Amino acid sequence: MAPVSKNPQRIVGSFPDYAAAQKAVDYLSDEKFPVEHVTIVGRGMQFVEQVTGRLNWGRAFLNGLSSGAMTGLFIGLLLALFFPAIEVENGAVVREGFNWPLILWSLAIGAVFGSAFALIGYAMTGGKRDFTSVGAMRAETYDVLVDADHADEAERVLTGLTA
């Protein structure tokens, strides 16, 4: 990540969401403004957790089963790339092929371990967190700051965005 500008900066616009601030910077870029002097700053940061549903034994099992199966499938595919299936006849390699049994076993083992760990984790919560959720950071406003020696030009260019 590049360091934030060490030059004094001035706010040239405040926006209600990141998309609007990004649109303003994109407009400055389209108008050939030197955007390396621009910074977007989120103010009033807050953590927002959206509850997505109820968690019970069945859902914990299915969540663990699916995530474990996907992990097992990924590991199985990687292993199959390096360890192909080999058919040997009379001490000689007759044919090499893709190792489907290895992939299927990896998927099954991943599903078993994933569901087991999910059920153990759910049991350990003791009913204190019986819901699923998705968390995100969000700002109340997004300010576009520009180095002070370029701020007047940026304000002039941004008047074209609102017009």
Same domain, 19 and 80: no
Cα 149 to Cα 10, 63, 90, 154: the distances in Å are 9, 54, 81, 10
pLDDT at 141 over 90: yes
Q: How sure is the predictor about 69, in pLDDT bands with cuts at 50, 70 and 90?
A: very high
Same domain, 126 and 68: yes
Q: How sure is the predictor about 161, in pLDDT bands with cuts at 50, 70 and 90?
A: confident
CA separation for the pair 163, 161 (Å, rounded): 6
CA separation for the pair 31, 11 (Å, rounded): 19
Give the per-residue pLDDT at 7. Answer: 81
CA separation for the pair 18, 51 (Å, rounded): 23
1 in a structural domain: no
Q: State the total domains in the chain.
A: 2
Helix 57-82, helix 100-125: angle, nearest 10: 150
Same domain, 60 and 122: yes
4 in a structural domain: no
pLDDT at 2 over 60: no
Q: Which amino acid is at 66?
A: S
* 0.95 exceeded by pTM: no
Give the per-residue pLDDT at 4. Answer: 63
Helix/strand/coil for 5: coil
Query: Residue 78 belongs to what domain range?
Result: 55-130
pLDDT per residue over 14-57, tens digit each? 999 999 999 999 999 999 999 999 999 999 999 999 999 999 99
